Amino acid sequence: IDAALSDGPLKGKHILVTSGPTHEPIDPVRYIANRSSGAQGSAIATALAALGAEVSFVTGPADVPAPQNVRVIPVQTAREMLQAVQAAPAADAAVFAAAVADWHVTNAGDSKIKKDGSGLPQLEFAENPDILATVSQMKQGRPKLVVGFAAETDDVIAHATAKRARKGCDWIVANDVSPATGIMGGTENAVTLISDDGAEAWPRMGKDAVAQRLAQRIAEVLL
């Protein structure tokens, strides 16, 4: 792909990015999902490619268009996203920006559920695979740097710090998505980068600026 030819500090590096929501079908016309426009993930993939990285971009059905200069691998469900991540070539770094649905419906059918008076549908759920945790805990071929996201409310840093430890990723990019912040669905983000070095709060800035700063930091680690 073109991006691999461009010069920059990430030239020759392969980086995996997950982005967007996943859709878990209930029937052919209905699904469950987490909220995600895909904007932050797309911006990160764009910023990494601009620094010369070869980017594999595994994306659920997002609102924003997929970036240029990346290898786009479209998926629908969390289980498909895990398969695509595992099928991608070995990565130097991986950034998990997707808002993966936590559950899928085990009794989803090929027939549309009708409101035919036979009562409410009885949906049954199973937990989805944790893609970030799976990659973080790989025994062989683990990317040198694994970055997760944590969109939290209430005690954001404590939740995100616990999540980082539980999953085993190197960094967590935490943000406060309480309605009062106006972050959710907007063009700006206010994140805290949590690593072995502690919690580093970044000022509120555009999602593109967050992406560029994160890409720069990733480049420093992979140098």
Considering just the CA atoms, what is the radius of gyration of the chain in Å? 18
Residues 52-91: x/- map of binding to Ca ion (CB under 5 A)?
Answer: ----------------------------------------
Inter-CA distances, 8 with 13, 54, 147, Å: 10, 11, 21
3 state SS of 47: helix
What is Dmax (Cα atoms) for the chain? 63
Which is catalytic among the residues 34, 107, 128, 189?
Answer: 34
Q: Residue for token digits 């709060």?
A: 201
Nearest distance, CB of residue 97 and Ca ion, angstroms: 13
26 binds, among Ca ion, ligand CTP, none (CB under 5 to 8 A by kind): none
Q: Answer with the entry of Ca ion, ligand CTP, none that 131 interacts with (C-beta below 5 to 8 A by kind).
A: ligand CTP
Is 175 an active-site residue?
no
Half-sphere exposure of 105 (CA within 13 A, CB side): 18
Rule CB under 6 A: which residues touch ligand CTP?
18, 78, 96, 98, 100, 102, 128, 130-132, 148-151, 163
CB of 182 to ligand CTP, least distance (A): 19
Which is closer to ligand CTP, CB of 52 or CB of 151?
A: 151
For residues 93 and 12, is the Cβ–Cβ distance under 8 A? no
Q: Using the rule CB under 5 A, is 133 a contact of Ca ion?
A: no
Which residue in the set 8, 102, 157, 216 belongs to the binding site for Ca ion (CB under 5 A)?
102
Q: What is the dihedral of CA 181, 166, 14, 11, to 10 degrees?
A: 60
Helix or strand holding residue 107 (H, E): none
Residues near Ca ion (CB under 5 A) are 102
- Residues recognised as catalytic: 34
